[in-house]
Structure formats: structure tokens, C-alpha cells
Chain A
């Protein structure tokens, strides 16, 4: 899956989100889950790769 914002930014301190407030659809969450699950239903915005457009 091609997404923006998947580069980890570990320098930023993370605050603990409650379970209910945990975002499972962000690009970071999708990448996190994909390391331990073959596929997840979490979706992230698809991007265009055509270089002559955005």
C-alpha cells in the first residue's frame, strides 16, 4: 500500500491513547499492523504515483 506519512517520527514523544481513541486507520497504524498481520481491513488514503500529476 502506498501512503504518505509512513516514515516513523520517533523523536516525537507519544502520549498514551485510550483503546477507544486509538486510531487504527492512520498510515502509521496500518504499517504497524501489517508487520504482524498479513492483511488488515484498515485502509489508508491511496496516492497517485504518476509523476506528471499529483
Chain B
């Protein structure tokens, strides 16, 4: 087994090994492993001290910002307040100044009283309680040894925890599923207690000891859980449910949220009352000694346990599940299920048994995940995938969040120019015209280049570059000018110029000149005043001011049928493409660009009117490049870099290819189209090459777009779409995109007729497309 060591972040500390209930479904006492009977009842002082020492050592070694310690049992409250206080004090003291300590306790609630809760309040120990639903459900298993119900005592505990003085300690309720119970009654009983979180546990079972299926249905547990899901949905999701949240997260490309589901590597370890270090203790359901590692806190570090083969086996992601699971499309969500539930004992020396099997709940997990996907896909789909305007709105929201995150990260260290500009930004967006103007400037593609670069610099400890602070001032100034606000905006110019994004560059001196200035809107234009400028001598830029000694406006292409586009050869951040950007173009060169783009657009509007219309709505900025074809760079949506040499036909295909790649990139920046890219390999139908999912998707998306112009590009695309749709990596939004592509290419027969006489380059050979075949990967 290879790969880096995964440090532990969750530590289950068994503080008491006995319980005051006698639940017949308990994995500690009623299943295969009976080691509890030989353990000390209560954790010893020595075990507490060594645990604290090992925790601090582990947190230091791995620079962990926080560790979670869950006090568990048996029933942990049986350890008593004095022992629990000692645990909290020792752990807190050992980790003080090293890592944040997240302390939790999980209890049956029977003993919970203010005596305990005051202690937990003192050490901020949060409390989870086991409750199997309504009284009838809870009484099915959670009884005292004499058969008496624990329900009234648990309800008292829950009520106490919900009191104002303790509510901040409430973690929620953990419910073990029994399909004999009424799922709606169980849900409603839990929801009525308004818990901050609920989780449902499948009863521990293995292939040797499978779960009861009274009706014989192979998906009885999925049906029960989906009935709960439907009720939860009907009541508008009254509380978070960890199991459902995990499935929804993984379906949408996020991580799993519980060890029971998903491929995330395990990062938890168990410390028994005698200091023995064990793997996750649900393994006690598999066989005697299944959780043992042979290590203890007195002699061994947590790193030694992390390297144990049994722990490593649960850190391997896809490589850690069986062959059947590796090929299953839902494996990203189920992860093969809880490790314990995969166990089957051997039947012969040649068949030693073990965990290399699907879960005993395999059919249930698949039905649950598919059931949740069917029920929620429409509500969780991002509208950005199908609606270009929504995509632009999502990107504007992302850009604004980036700016706010940068300001938050700076935490007052941005300098006076930054702080002043931030305050003025608030003033600019106080009224709708200013807010609209600010959003217009923020939506410029190179705003993203600026913000992502600055955030990376600050987070890497390099501090905010001066130019990055100056960009905020220039952005606010451009917005104030656009809105005509009566506002003086302090700015800074450098290299003899002040660039106002989307507008142009004010020339204020020689190439090395720099300094402060103030921008102020004036008479539908603006003026720029430097300290010492005599009143009336400062540069004044009128509306529609042509190029002159003090002003270089951004070129605007206005030649139909192309949309109005900025030809941005001024923005200092425009050099963000693989090929270098050109210097400032002369007016006649810009005019030639307008003709070239209009000619190419004419071809696109004729051959692919829908794509041309979408591009017209979303493309805002072309940046002239010194070489190459048309390509997106490192910027926000709306830009393409375009090389000099292409004729109209080549430029049309290049724009289409570039637009397609830019769109996929833009989608990937606001939603998750896939997850775990690179885990599987896929054969491309056109190149017979094995590639990652992201590359298969990118090539397919681009070919489908080009295929609308020249149907020869569609060869292999339907097969690729089938592969993508059935891949484990694809998310709800990835499927939505594939569905949209299928719809796009469904009418290509008519396009074939339309383009029959078109003098197109042979499929796969036009220079920009051949180049794109090499480039279609996400960065």
C-alpha cells in the first residue's frame, strides 16, 4: 500500500466500557467482538495522560489546526463528572497553543443532568444523544436490562439540552434504523425535538450476519430511508440529516460527510479504556479482534497506528474497494458502504474471506442514492448550466465574493489606498446607478485575474502587491465615472499612466513616472488631478473622447453582425494567455479587427445561429495576441485572446472553439460538473487514447460545438456522451450539461445539409482545432 500517511483528526476516546442500558442491537456488547468484558470499566489516569501527550505530538507533527475528540463508551457518563473533568483538563492543557480542541460526547442520555452539562459548558463539550425515534421505535431496542423503557429519561435529557442555558452544546440525535418501525413516525418524533442535526445508522451487519429483511425486499432499508427522505422533504427539511447531506454533497461533486458513505480516507482512531489503540470500533461487528492493532498509547505514536494495514486499507479511496464497486457508477457516493458491512468470513483456505466485497447493504445504498438523485436533481441543478445569463450572474457573484474574501483576508493590512477604495466602493454601491456601474467594471474578465492573483499572494504570505491595491482604486474610479457620481476617488498611477478598467488609460507622464492622483467625474466625463496640478491644468477626458496626448480609450468594435466588443489592448492584466498579448494597436489596425471579426461572425450567425447568439450575449472582450488562434486565458468569463493571422473562415471556427472551451471553463468555476477527476481512465472514441474524465468531457464538449458547424466533428461524440453519463465522476450538473449537449446536436442533420457546400477544412485538421485537441484540459 502506497501513498502519503493520512493523519488522524478524530479521536474516539472510550472513557467507560460498560453501559446502563442493554440495547440488543449494540455492536459493543451484542456482536462478534466481546473484548469489552476484559477492559477496565473506566479509563485510567495514565491512559488519559498518555492520550493527551500523544494527541499533542500528533497535532504538532502534522501541523493540525484542530482535532476532534469524541468521548464515547459504553456509556461515557458512567465515568462520572470527576473523571470527565480530568479528561477535559488534560486534553485542553496538552493541546493549548498547538491546535484547537473540538470536544464532543455521545451518550444514551439516561444519566444526563445539569451536573454534567455545567461541566460540559465549562469545557465546551458538545453533546449528541442516541434516540431511535418515537417511543414505540425507541422501546424496540433501547431498554434497561430488566426490560424497562429508557424513553422517558432520554426525553428528559433532550429537553434539558434544549434549554437556553445548554442549547449551544446540543449536537443532535443519532437514530439506528429498524425497518419494523414506522419511518414517518420516527422522522416526526425526531423533527419535533428540533435537533440541530440528525443521522440515521444502518444496523451493523455483515455477509455472515446479514440484516433482517422481513418482507424479503433486497432494498427494504432504502425504501425505509426514502420514506423518511420524502417526509423530510414534505416538511421542508426541518433539520440537517447527515446521511442525506452526504449523498446530496457527493452527487453534486462535494465530499462525503460520514465514514458510512463515500471514498474519503478514514481519519479516525479509537482509544480504549486500557489505552489500546484500535481501528474504528464498528469493526467489532465483524469478528473477535477485528478492530485491534496491537498498539497502545503508552508505547506507540498515532503515526504508527496510521500506518497499520487495517487503517491504510480504509484510506485508499477507490483502490480500497472491491472490483465490483470500482466499476459501479454510484461508488463515489456510497464508497462501498461502511467497511464493517463488507465483511464475509472465509469458507476454505483458498477463500480466506475479508472485506474485499460490496456492502451487505449494496442494493440498498444504490437504491437510496439513485432515489435521492431522482428526487432532487431538478432542485439542485445549477441554472448556470442551461441559461447563459445565469452563468454570468453566478460569475459576478463569484467575483464579488473573491473581492470580499480578499478584503477579509487582508484584515486591515491592505494599506491606506486599499482601505480608502474599499470605503468608497461601499459609497458607490449605495444607490442603484453606482451599484450597476461597479458590477459592470467588476464583470470585466481581467478583474478575476487581478483578484485570484492577489488572493494567492496574500495567502502565500507575500502580502498585497502595490499594483493590486491600485487596481481596486482604479476599479472604483471607473465605476464612479461610469455612474457620473460626484465622488473624488484617490488612485495611483504608474509607468506614466492610470488605467481605468473598461474605459482606457490616462497618460500622466513618462514611462517611469508614478504617484498619487484623484479621479472625479465631471460633465459626463472625468478629470484626473495630481498633487500640485494647477486648477484647470489637469487632464479632462470628455465622453467619447478620441485618442490624444492624455488619453488612450479602449477600442470598441462596433461592426455588425458581430456584437459590440471591447478590443482590449491596454489593460495591464491582459497578458494572461498562453500566447503573448500585443502592444497597443493603431486605429487602422483596430478597424481591420472590426472587419475580420464581423466577417467571421457573419459565418457563425449563418451556420450556428444559436451558438452565435449565445456568444453575442456572453462575449465582451477580445484581446489581440501576437501569435496563435483563439483561446481563453486566466480570466473571468467573457474574454478570448485572438491571434493575428486567421482569415474569416479560420477565425469563425477558432472563435467557436475558443468560446466552447471558455464556456466549459466558466461552468466549472461556478459549479461541479464532476468529482475525483483522474481516478478512472476513459478511452476517447476519436483517438483511442485513455484520458481523464475532465479531458474526455472537454474534448466532447468542444467537438459537439464544432459539430454544429461541421458535422464531421460529431464522429464519436454520441458514444462519448454515453460514457460520460455513466461515469462515476459525473455529478448532477455534469449530467445536466450532457443532456443539454444531446439536445444541441439532435438537429445536426439539418446543419449538415446547410453546410454541404461550405468550403470547410477537413475534420480534425484546421490549425486551431488541432491545437485545441492538445489543450483541452482544465487548468
Q: Which residues of A contact B (CB under 8 A)?
A: 1-11, 14, 16-20, 22, 24-25, 29, 31-33, 35-42, 46-54
Partner of A24, one of B66, B382, B405: B405
In contact, A54 and B448 (Cβ under 8 angstroms):
no
Contact A54–B282 (Cβ < 8 Å): no
The 7 closest A-B pairs by CB, nearest first: A54-B128, A53-B106, A22-B404, A24-B405, A7-B248, A54-B171, A51-B260
B383 touching A10, Cβ below 8 Å = yes
A11, B106: Cβ atoms closer than 8 Å: no
In the complex, which residues of chain A have a beta carbon less than 8 angstroms from the beta carbon of B726?
none
User: Are B255's CB and A2's CB within 8 A?
Assistant: yes
Interface SS of A by simple majority: loop
Task: Tell me whether A19 and B405 are in contact in the complex, defined as CB-CB below 8 angstroms, given that A8-B252, A35-B668 are known contacts.
Answer: no
Q: Which residue of A lies closest to B435 (CB)?
A: A16
Q: In the complex, A27→B320 CA distance in Å?
A: 29
Query: Which of A19, A35, A40 is most buried by chain B, counting CB atoms within 10 A of its CB?
Result: A19
Contact with A along B67-102 (1 / 0, CB 8 A): 010101000000000000000000000000000001
Check: B371 CB closer than 8 A to any chain A CB.
no
- Is the beta-carbon distance between B401 and A51 smaller than 8 angstroms? no
Cβ B671 vs Cβ A53 within 8 A: no
Across the two chains, which residue of chain B brings its CB closest to A43? B65
Evaluate contact between A46 and B254: CB separation under 8 angstroms: no
What are 11 residue pairs bridging A and B, where the CB atoms are less than 8 Å apart in the complex? A2-B257, A2-B264, A8-B252, A8-B380, A17-B400, A37-B455, A37-B456, A52-B174, A53-B12, A53-B106, A54-B171
Residues of chain B within 8 A (CB-CB) of A19 are 400, 403-404, 407, 422, 425-426, 429
What distance in Å separates the Cβ of A53 from its nearest Cβ neighbour in chain B?
A: 4
Q: How many residues of B sit at the interface, in one of the four size bands?
A: 35 or more
**In contact, B68 and A40 (Cβ under 8 angstroms):** no
Residues 253-269 of chain B, each 1 if its beta carbon lies under 8 Å from chain A, else 0:
01111111000100110
Report the bound CA distance from A30 to B747 in whole Å. 40
> Which residues of chain A are near B49, meaning CB under 8 Å?
none
Q: Are A35 and B435 in contact (CB under 8 A)?
A: no
A12 to chain B, nearest CB (A): 10
User: Chain B's nearest CB lies how many Å from the CB of A8?
Assistant: 6
Q: A6-B249, A46-B68, A54-B128 are in contact. Are A36 and B199 (CB under 8 A)?
A: no
Choose among A1, A10, A18, A39 the residue with the greatest number of B CB atoms under 10 Å from its CB. Answer: A10
Q: Is the CB of B259 within 8 A of A49?
A: yes
Contact A48:B68 (CB < 8 A) given known A4-B245, A7-B254, A8-B380: yes
Contacts of A1 in B (CB 8 A): 255
CA gap between A8 and B251 in the complex, in Å: 11
Q: Assess the A50–B268 pair: CB atoms within 8 A.
A: yes
A50–B27 Cα distance when bound, in Å, is 14
Give the residues in chain B near A3, CB-CB below 8 Å: 257
In the complex, the answer to whether B10 meets A48 with C-beta atoms within 8 Å is yes
* A48: B residues at CB distance < 8 A: 10, 68, 70, 104
Cβ distance A28 to chain B, nearest Cβ, rounded Å: 9
Contact assessment for B282 and A22 in the assembled complex, using a CB-CB cutoff below 8 Å: no
Of chain B, the residue at the smallest CB distance from A30 is B405
User: Which residue in chain B gives the minimum CB-CB distance to A6?
Assistant: B254
Main secondary structure of the interface of B (DSSP, over half): mixed
| Bound CA span A36–B260, Å | 30
- Nearest Cβ on chain B to A39's Cβ, whole angstroms: 6
**In the complex, are the beta carbons of B426 and A50 less than 8 A apart?**
no
Per-residue A-contact encoding for B378-420, CB less than 8 Å = 1, 0 else: 0111110000000000000110111111011100000000000
Q: Which of B83-134 contact A (CB under 8 A)?
A: 102, 104, 106, 128
Q: A35-B670, A54-B174 are in contact. List 18 more A-B contacts (CB 8 A).
A: A1-B255, A2-B264, A10-B380, A14-B397, A18-B426, A19-B400, A19-B404, A19-B422, A31-B254, A33-B401, A39-B459, A40-B409, A49-B256, A49-B258, A50-B259, A50-B268, A51-B199, A51-B259
- Bound complex: CA A24 to CA B403 (Å): 10
B5 at the interface (CB under 8 A from A): no
- Distance A48 CA – B12 CA, assembled complex (angstroms): 10
Among B171, B252, B257, B672, contact of A49 (Cβ-Cβ < 8 Å) = B257
Task: Give the shortest distance, in Å, between A27 (CB) and chain B (any CB).
Answer: 9
Q: Which residues of B are found within 8 Å of A7, using beta-carbon distances?
A: 245, 248-249, 252, 254, 380
Interface presence of B452 (CB below 8 A): yes
Q: Is B712 an interface residue (CB 8 A)?
A: no
Asked if B230 is an interface residue, CB under 8 A from chain A, the answer is no
On chain A, the residues within 8 Å of B252 by CB distance are 6-8
Residues of A within 8 A of B104 (CB): 48, 53-54
Residues of B within 8 A of A51 (CB): 199, 201, 258-260, 282, 338
From A31, A38, A52, B281 is in contact (CB under 8 Å) with: A52
B426-440: contact bitstring with A at CB < 8 Å (1 yes, 0 no)? 100100000100000
Least distance between B747 CB and chain A CB atoms (Å): 28
The residue on A at minimum CB distance from B438 is A19
A38 to B459, CA, bound (A): 10
B429 (CB) vs chain A CBs: closest residue: A18
In the complex, A8 Cα to B254 Cα: how many Å? Answer: 10
Identity of the chain B residue whose Cβ is nearest the Cβ of A20 in the assembled complex: B426
Interface membership of B669, Cβ < 8 A: yes
Residues of chain A within 8 A of B648, CB atoms compared: none
- In the assembled complex, which residues on chain B have CB atoms less than 8 Å from the CB atom of A36? 398, 402, 448, 452, 669
A38 CA to B456 CA in the complex, in Å? 8
Q: Is the CB of B669 within 8 A of A53?
A: no
Report Cα–Cα, A16/B48, bound state, in Å. 51
B452 lies within 8 A of A37 (CB): yes
